[in-house]
Amino acid sequence: MLNTVAETNSATVFAGKKPPANRNRPISACQRMLDALHCRQVDRPPVWLMRQAGRCLPEYRALRERHSFRELIQTPALAAEVTLQPVRRFHFDAAILFSDILVVPEAMGQGFSFREKGGVEMTHRLRDGADVRQLNDREVTARLQYVAEAVKLIKAELGEGAALLGFAGSPWTLANFMTEGGSAARHGKALELFNSDRQAFDLLAQKLTRAVTDFLNLQIDAGVDAIQIFDSLGGLLPPEDFAAASGKWIAEIVAALPPSTPVIVYSKGTRDWPSLVGTGAQAIGIDHEIDLAGAVKALPRDVAVQGNLNPALLQTASPSEVRTEASRLLELMRGRAGYIFNLGHGVPPETKLENLEALVDTAQTFV
């Protein structure tokens, strides 16, 4: 029988194993994460992993045998359960809401499903300004109430046991899926629209900016502690176009959120540090192709840094190799107020659990 959040109480989140004791001063995991986001000194860097929930966990795969992905994200008790699974197992300092970036296009009238062989398929593709004008950016919060319900359940269960991160895709990254009509071997149509019909591109980005802002404010009102904006396709942009095609829209979103809610901007492949800092993000996510030491030098001291262990190691390396690489990153960042340990991208589905255990243990026992 499924042990949903609705059936449990907050004392049971950590049933079984106890979270590791705090060594220096009593600090909750939630506070550790928030302190690091605000570049305050902490006992050790907080740790969470992008895509920590999902197919890498046997308990997720067991639930997935009985429920579609859509059921999991649209049923608040199930979304809450999946969000909490990795926190129960690994005592991460942050939980990330279980949902998907594509729920925003769906709420605007462009639905999605999954292809048999992997990848996303959308109901249609946006070709031009006329298609963009059809998108409804005014009813996103009404259509995504199920997300607010999930956030409330998760927060009630988590308490201070971990920070809860809400998230959304960036307008640029969403525009890529929407103009391709799903996943593509090589995304190129959003850049094509940006170059050939700037008016249509800007209208699309404006509509997405409004929808994403409303969606993130919905999550904040429901109780998330911080936000991550996934600009996972930022690296597709020629550096000279990053600011106009992605950065400026992210900046508009950040400016429209309450200043008390920290925002992490993860723009995979982007090295335009001034534009990233210019978004107003409290923290910048660094991917594994980027040298972490170099990124830290390029960023102001009052901006937190998150990353960037190569996720491929979780599939291919041994636990001791994972420990060595995690320790190298932790040593490199020693003393830097405002460091959040994470991967450079999401946990691969074929991850070996013993590697995740080695990674988390290395980060949580770092002194």
Give whole-number Cα distances, 354 to 68, 202, 320, 364, in Å.
27, 46, 10, 15
- Tell me if 70 contacts ligand CP3 by CB under 6 A: no
- Which residues touch 66 (CB under 8 Å, ≥6 apart)? none
- Contact between residue 317 and residue 362 where contact means Cβ atoms under 8 Å apart: no
Size of the site for ligand CP3 (CB under 6 A): 23
Token output for 250: 């992210």
Q: Which residues within the stretch 124-153 sit at the binding site for ligand CP3 (CB under 6 A)?
A: none
- Tell me if 168 contacts ligand CP3 by CB under 6 A: no
**Torsion angles phi and psi, residue 187, rounded to 5:** -70, 130
Which position among 12, 70, 114, 149 is part of the footprint of ligand CP3 (CB under 6 A)? Answer: 114
**Torsion angles phi and psi, residue 202, rounded to 5:** -65, -35
Stretch that binds ligand CP3, among 94-102, 214-222, 234-242, 272-280 (CB under 6 A): 94-102
**Torsion angles phi and psi, residue 166, rounded to 5:** -95, 170
Which position among 29, 87, 102, 281 is part of the footprint of ligand CP3 (CB under 6 A)? Answer: 102
Find the shortest distance in angstroms from Cβ 4 to ligand CP3. 18
Find the shortest distance in angstroms from Cβ 353 to ligand CP3. 16
Stretch that binds ligand CP3, among 92-100, 208-216, 318-326, 356-364 (CB under 6 A): 92-100
Rounded distance, CA 208 to CA 309, Å?
Answer: 31
Q: Which is nearer to ligand CP3, 78 or 358 (CB)?
A: 78
Q: Which residues within the stretch 50-69 sit at the binding site for ligand CP3 (CB under 6 A)?
A: 50-55, 64, 69
- Tell me if 48 contacts ligand CP3 by CB under 6 A: no
- Tell me if 183 contacts ligand CP3 by CB under 6 A: yes
- Tell me if 346 contacts ligand CP3 by CB under 6 A: yes
- Give, for 285, the enclosing helix (H) or strand (E): strand 283-285
- Tell me if 288 contacts ligand CP3 by CB under 6 A: no
Whose CA is closest to 364, among 34, 98, 18, 16?
18
Token output for 309: 């262990």
- Tell me if 294 contacts ligand CP3 by CB under 6 A: no
Q: Which is nearer to ligand CP3, 45 or 169 (CB)?
A: 169
Find the shortest distance in angstroms from Cβ 60 to ligand CP3. 7
- Tell me if 239 contacts ligand CP3 by CB under 6 A: no
Which position among 43, 59, 100, 241 is part of the footprint of ligand CP3 (CB under 6 A)? Answer: 100
- Give, for 157, the enclosing helix (H) or strand (E): helix 145-158
Q: Is the dihedral of CA 323, 325, 331, 334 positive or negative?
A: negative
Find the shortest distance in angstroms from Cβ 65 to ligand CP3. 10
DSSP assigned state of 244: I
Q: Which is nearer to ligand CP3, 167 or 249 (CB)?
A: 167
Q: Which is nearer to ligand CP3, 67 or 336 (CB)?
A: 67
Stretch that binds ligand CP3, among 22-30, 111-119, 239-247, 301-309 (CB under 6 A): 111-119
Q: What is the CA radius of gyration of the chain?
A: 20
Rounded distance, CA 102 to CA 163, Å?
Answer: 23
Rounded distance, CA 86 to CA 60, Å?
Answer: 9
**Residue 133 neighbours by CB distance under 10 Å:** 11
Find the shortest distance in angstroms from Cβ 93 to ligand CP3. 14
Find the shortest distance in angstroms from Cβ 215 to ligand CP3. 13
Q: Which is nearer to ligand CP3, 232 or 282 (CB)?
A: 232
Mode of pairing for the β-strands spanning 120-122 and 112-114 = antiparallel
- Give, for 267, the enclosing helix (H) or strand (E): strand 263-267
- The footprint of ligand CP3 (CB under 6 A) covers 50-55, 64, 69, 96, 98, 100-102, 114, 118-120, 167, 169, 183, 230, 232, 346
